[in-house]
Amino acid sequence: MTKESHFTERGSAEAVNARMGDDINPRLAEVMASLVRHLHAFAKDVDLSQDEWELAIDFLTRTGQICSEERQEFILLSDTLGFSMLVDAINNRRPSGATENTVFGPFHVDGAPIRKMGDNICFDGKGESCLYQGCVLDRAGVPIEGAIVDVWSDNADGYYDVQQPDVQPKFNNRGRFITGADGVYRFVGIKPVSYPIPDDGPVGKMLAALGRHPNRPAHLHFLVTAQGYQKIVTHIFDGKDKWLASDAVFGVKQSLIAPFEPVEGDTKWRADFDFVMCEM
Amino acid sequence: MTKESHFTERGSAEAVNARMGDDINPRLAEVMASLVRHLHAFAKDVDLSQDEWELAIDFLTRTGQICSEERQEFILLSDTLGFSMLVDAINNRRPSGATENTVFGPFHVDGAPIRKMGDNICFDGKGESCLYQGCVLDRAGVPIEGAIVDVWSDNADGYYDVQQPDVQPKFNNRGRFITGADGVYRFVGIKPVSYPIPDDGPVGKMLAALGRHPNRPAHLHFLVTAQGYQKIVTHIFDGKDKWLASDAVFGVKQSLIAPFEPVEGDTKWRADFDFVMCEM
């Protein structure tokens, strides 16, 4: 046992990381060593006080305790600190021209009905209807046949069907569309509306203390899959939304802003958006 | 709204931190900005995968959910990552020669009985008895009168009285001693024994995955206070303990290792240790 094996302020992270066993999962060792280095560097950078440490312990504990089957406050924390978007970005780097990813969100439902091209996916009669259409293409601009365009959005009151199972029809504002040889998808939905993330818990209090609002700009979710291609998890956003530059979860990317254009007739709006997929 | 206001992988931390309000607590802004920079740098350093992110969310959630009035798993996490010791070190930097701090731990009890010099604090008859004595001094070596030496330890089975309220006498292995003009303290306790931190929760699983054991080397806790001096929160350790170089919470410092020496008579051991206090 040498003196160096004990803890010192200067060598704190090294002391912790030196303790890891030799036979452990090498990837776990790599990730934990980096985490410890960054956590310790953070405390040193700001000279973290004992009171601040206690506040952090209390915040993390409350964040864990409010989690339930229906609520995941740690994901909300990750989202609001831009961490979810960062992990998504790291894992979905794509060449220029390919459709960018954004956060998946908690409201996707597997197995939404497969609908016919042009169908209306809004079943509660609320909201301003909007025609969505575009092409699913490869990077050379060739249409992809058999791509599944899975779409979901909140209703005009700002809630997803799964948040209001007793109020909204099942699969309201959801559906899957399978492209033909022309790669085209087309459906009628509503022009989406903005909504706040749940802000009555620790994360909401954190946002308030940081002078931030909890709102997400209006968006429509898409999950686009096709055999041989990388899946796309993304949104399209309304470029005129007041929260566009301040999405509480940092989901907005410039390339994902769709032109919502007013049109004449029963359908009030039209948004054209193509999806460009990368080969696996 | 400019393109720069949106999220990019490269500028991720800056995008998050730019979102903070102008009128918020400046210290909160400083701490959170550093935290976000380090968290994002961590994810980038290791190219954190989506699966690893999910595992982290699940780990933090389980850590929060196991917390209760009797158990604080996030403090255990902080302790086992060396973070508690680091925060203690940052907040208790002392000149050479002054007694060093170490972690406070969860087992201190306010208001332990004030005892007479030389009293025995062990009331369950277990363990090998040990005479503890030394001086409370200022940095010039002058004895401090009226210093309160508050001591607590586990019993010979490795449990504190508060962990076994139905088994151990109240205030077993606890007491406070007030120094006279000579600055001397003296009492009989037991030679402490090592024990594991609670390892049946997420933190125990983490330690196992990291190839680490949950044990703390044998130690006696001290809280030393005196008017006009900075309080000392520390342990003294048995230099022969098998876990000395691998304390699960990194509490050991070289200067806190006391000489436990065998002696003849009813008292089997003797440990001399002086406390050197810094003026406020």
User: Of A24, A52, A86, which has the smallest distance from its Cβ to B31's Cβ?
Assistant: A52
Amino acid letter, B250: F
Q: Do B63 and A60 touch (CB under 8 A)?
A: yes
Q: Which chain B residues contact residue A86 at CB under 8 A?
A: 9, 12, 40, 43-44
The burial of B52, by beta-carbon neighbours within 10 Å (0-12 exposed, 13-18 middle, 19 or more buried), is given as middle
Q: Do B82 and A12 touch (CB under 8 A)?
A: yes
Q: What is the mean pLDDT of residues B109-127?
A: 96
pLDDT in tens, A117-159: 999 999 999 999 999 999 999 999 999 999 999 999 999 999 9
Question: Pick from A64, A68, A78, A76: which is nearest to B67 by CA?
Answer: A64
pLDDT at residue A116, rounded to an integer = 97
pLDDT at residue B4, rounded to an integer = 44
Q: Do A246 and B19 touch (CB under 8 A)?
A: yes
ipTM of predicted assembly, 2 dp: 0.91
At A246, the pLDDT band (50, 70, 90 cuts) reads very high
Residue A4: pLDDT over 60: no
Question: Pick from B192, B145, B194, B184: which is nearest to B272 by CA?
Answer: B184
The CA distances from residue A145 to A138, B49, B85, B95, in Å, are: 10, 30, 59, 73
pLDDT at residue B106, rounded to an integer = 83
User: Of A43, A87, A211, which has the smallest distance from its Cβ to B22's Cβ?
Assistant: A211
Q: Which chain A residues contact residue B35 at CB under 8 A?
A: 42
Q: Which chain B residues contact residue A29 at CB under 8 A?
A: 210
Q: Do A34 and B46 touch (CB under 8 A)?
A: yes
pLDDT at residue A167, rounded to an integer = 95
pLDDT at residue B265, rounded to an integer = 85
CATH 2.40.50.100 is held by the domain A77-277:
no
CA distance B198 to chain A (A): 17
Residue A71: pLDDT over 90: no
Does the CA dihedral A161-A167-A168-A169 come out positive or negative? positive
Q: Do A86 and B47 touch (CB under 8 A)?
A: no
pLDDT at residue B3, rounded to an integer = 37
Beta bridge partners of A237: A219, A257
Q: Name the least confident of A10-14, A35-39, B86-90, B105-109.
A: B105-109
> How many other CB atoms are found less than 10 A from the CB of residue A240?
11
Q: Which chain A residues contact residue B16 at CB under 8 A?
A: 81-82, 250
User: Of A19, A86, A91, which has the smallest distance from its Cβ to B49's Cβ?
Assistant: A91
Q: What is the mean pLDDT of residues A218-229?
A: 97
Burial B140-160 (b: 16+ CB within 10 A, else e): eeebbeebbbbbbbbbbeebb
What count of residues does chain A have?
280
The percentage of residues in chain A with a pLDDT greater than 90, rounded to a whole number, is 92
At A222, the pLDDT band (50, 70, 90 cuts) reads very high
> Cα-Cα-Cα-Cα dihedral of B128, B131, B136, B139, to 10°?
-80
Residue A266: pLDDT over 90: no
Whole-angstrom Cα distance, residue B75 to residue B77? Answer: 5
Q: What is the mean pLDDT of residues B200-211?
A: 97
At B69, the pLDDT band (50, 70, 90 cuts) reads confident
Q: Do B60 and A60 touch (CB under 8 A)?
A: yes
User: Of A3, A65, A211, which has the smallest distance from its Cβ to B67's Cβ?
Assistant: A65
Main-chain phi, psi angles of A244, to 5 degrees: -55, -40
User: Of A3, A30, A93, which has the smallest distance from its Cβ to B46's Cβ?
Assistant: A30
Whole-angstrom Cα distance, residue B76 to residue B82? Answer: 10
Q: Do residues B154 and B191 touch, judged by C-beta distance below 8 A?
A: no
Whole-angstrom Cα distance, residue B120 to residue B130? Answer: 9
The CA distances from residue A178 to A114, A118, A130, A148, B106, in Å, are: 8, 11, 19, 5, 59
Whole-angstrom Cα distance, residue B1 to residue B97? Answer: 58
Q: Do A7 and B252 touch (CB under 8 A)?
A: yes
The CA distances from residue A4 to A10, A115, B116, B252, B253, in Å, are: 11, 67, 39, 11, 10
Q: What is the mean pLDDT of residues B204-221?
A: 97
pLDDT at residue A5, rounded to an integer = 62
Whole-angstrom Cα distance, residue B151 to residue B129? Answer: 15
Question: Pick from B103, B95, B141, B86: which is nearest to B275 by CA?
Answer: B141
pLDDT at residue A1, rounded to an integer = 37
A contact test, residue of B61, B213, B253 with most A CBs within 10 A:
B61
A contact test, residue of B42, B55, B231, B243 with most A CBs within 10 A:
B42
Mean pLDDT of chain B: 94
pLDDT in tens, B18-46: 999 999 999 999 999 999 999 999 999 99
Q: What is the mean pLDDT of residues B210-233?
A: 97
User: Of B61, B82, B209, which has the smallest distance from its Cβ to A24's Cβ?
Assistant: B209
Q: Do residues A67 and A75 touch, judged by C-beta distance below 8 A?
A: no
Residue A268: pLDDT over 70: yes
Amino acid letter, A133: Q
Q: Do residues B210 and A28 touch, judged by C-beta distance below 8 A?
A: yes
Residue A2: pLDDT over 50: no
